[in-house]
Amino acid sequence: MIEKFIEIHISLIKEARKLTFRRYLYNNIDWNNRLIGIIGARGVGKTTLLLQYCIEYFDNPEDGLYLSADNINIASKGLYNLAEEFFNFGGKVLLIDEVQKYPNWQQELKNLYDSFPSKKVIFSGSSSINILKGKSDLSRRVIFYKLKGLSFREFLLLHTGKSFEKLKMEEILTNHVKIAGDISNEIPILRYYNEYLKFGYYPFFKEGINTFYGKLDNVVDKIFYEDIPLLFNVKPDSIYNLKKLFYLVATSQPFTPNISRLSSQLGISKEYIYIYIDELEKAGLFNLLYSNTTGFNLLRKPQKIYLENVNLFTLIEKEKGFGVEKGSTRETFFLNQVSEVVRLFFPDKTDFMDNTGRYFEVGGKGKTDKVKNIESTSKNHFTICDDINIGFKNKIPLWVFGFLY
C-alpha cells in the first residue's frame, strides 16, 4: 500500500522542484514540533509548502512522505493504519494534505501523536472552518499556523522576480517616504499594484491569467459545496442562503450589516444570520470588523463586513456584472494586508483603528490629511492614499502596506 503513495509523492515532488518561490510562512514555522497544522483558505499554496518542506529535509520518501487525505486508498486502509505501517518501516515524518476530508481525523492524529513519540506529523487543511472545529481536541499537542494568500510583496517576487524586504508596521509609519521612493524607483509600482488587485492574491495566477477567474470561481464553489458541508449537515436550501448572503454582502461593499433586514431578506432567523456570517469568515470569504469592545465575537454584531481579499471583487464583477467601488477595494486591501500583523477595529469617526490606538483613514490621492472630529497627533493618525507613488508626513501610499508579510 505504501508504495502507491510513494509513487504519487515522487511525481508531485518532481513538479514542486520547479518552484523556487517560497511563501512567507515557510520560515515562520518551527518545523521541530512533532504535530504541526497549517490551515488557510483554498488555493493559497498549502500543498506546495508541504512539498517544499519534503524537498529541503528528505531525499527519500521512505523518510518523509506526502499524501492527500482524500485518496481513496486511505479511506479503505485507514489513516492511522497507514501511518503505523509507514512509521514501523522507519518513516520519520508524514505530511497529510486535505486532512479535513478524512472522517475522525482529530482522534486519529491524537492517537498517532501519543503512539509514536519519536515521529512527526505535519498536516494541512483547505477548510479552516473544519480544522478549527477540531482544534480544541488537539490543543495540547498541535501547533497551528495560518497561511494567507499572497501579499503584494510576494506577488511582486513571483510576478517580476524582484525581491523586496518584508517591512514592519512601525517602519512604514515612520519611514514610508524613503521606502516608497526606493521601491517606486525600481519598478512601476502602481501598475503592478493594479494587477495585484485583479489577480494577485492566489498563487495559481502563474498558471495563466486567462484561466485565473475560472479557477477562482471553482475555489469559491468548493468552499460552499465541499468545505462548509463538512462542518454542518446542511441542506441544499441552506447552501443557497449562504451563497445569497455572500453575494448580497459582496455587492454592497463595505457592508454594514442590519441583521433584522438580512433575516427578512433571506427568510431565515437572526441566529442563523450570525452563524452564516461567522462561518463565511472562517471559510476565507469574509473579513469582519468589530468595535473595540469586550465580549465574545459570536455574540456581537460586526460593524462592517468586507470580502476577504480584493480578487473576489473582480470575480463578482465578472459573474454579476457588478461595478466595483474603488473605495471598497482600498479598504479591503488595507484590512487584508495589515490584519496579518496588527489587529484592526471599527472606530466611530474614521475607517480603522488598531490595537495600539492608531487611526487610519483610507481614500484616494486627494484625501485630506486630517479626519474631522478626531483628536489626532502625528503619532496616532494616518491618512492612507491610493494612486500615489510617494507620500509626505502622515500621508502614506496604500500599496506600501502590501509589504508587511
Residue 251 confidence (pLDDT)? 85
Residue 298 confidence (pLDDT)? 46
Name the grid cell of 319: 459573474
In the chain, pLDDT over 70 holds for what percent of residues? 92
Residue 376 confidence (pLDDT)? 52
Q: What digits encode the pLDDT tens for the residues 148-157?
A: 999 999 999 9
Hey, do 2-146 and 232-303 end up sharing a CATH topology, with the first three levels equal?
Answer: no
Amino acid letter, 368: T
Q: What is the CA radius of gyration of the chain?
A: 22
Q: Which fold has domain 2-146?
A: Rossmann fold (3.40.50)
Q: What digits encode the pLDDT tens for the residues 186-215?
A: 999 999 999 999 999 999 999 999 999 999
Residue with cell 470575480: 315
Q: Indicate whether 303 pLDDT > 70.
A: yes
| Mean pLDDT of the 211-224 span | 94
| Mean pLDDT of the 5-28 span | 95
Domain 232-303 has CATH 1.10.10: yes
Name the grid cell of 166: 518584508
Q: What digits encode the pLDDT tens for the residues 88-144?
A: 999 999 999 999 889 889 999 999 999 999 999 999 997 666 676 666 678 789 999
For 148, residues 6+ apart whose C-beta sits below 8 A from its C-beta are 40, 44, 336, 340, 405
CA pair distance 145, 141, nearest whole angstrom? 13
| Verdict on whether the full-model pTM lies above 0.95 | no
pLDDT band at residue 295 under the 50/70/90 scheme: low
CA pair distance 376, 70, nearest whole angstrom? 54
State how far Cα 212 lies from the chain centre: 17
For 182, residues 6+ apart whose C-beta sits below 8 A from its C-beta are none
CA pair distance 134, 380, nearest whole angstrom? 39
How do the domains of the chain map onto residue ranges?
A: 2-146, 169-201+323-403, 232-303
| 367-376: long-range pairs with CB below 8 Å, 24+ | 367/395, 369/393, 369/394, 369/395, 373/349, 374/349, 374/350
State how far Cα 7 lies from the chain centre: 31
Q: Find residue 397's DSSP bridge partners.
A: 385
| Mean pLDDT of the 381-388 span | 96
Give the residue from 43, 3, 232 showing the smallest Cα distance to 124.
43
Name the grid cell of 270: 437572526
Helix (H) or strand (E) holding 286: strand 286-289
For 315, residues 6+ apart whose C-beta sits below 8 A from its C-beta are 213, 216, 217, 220
Eight-class DSSP state of 323: P
For 354, residues 6+ apart whose C-beta sits below 8 A from its C-beta are 338, 342, 343, 344, 345, 360
| Mean pLDDT of the 52-76 span | 95
**Using CB atoms within 10 A of its CB, is residue 159 exposed (0-12), middle (13-18) or buried (19+)?**
middle
DSSP per residue, 92-138 = -EEEEESGGGSTTHHHHHHHHHHH-TT-EEEEEES-HHHHHHTHHHH
For 250, residues 6+ apart whose C-beta sits below 8 A from its C-beta are 307, 312, 313, 316, 322
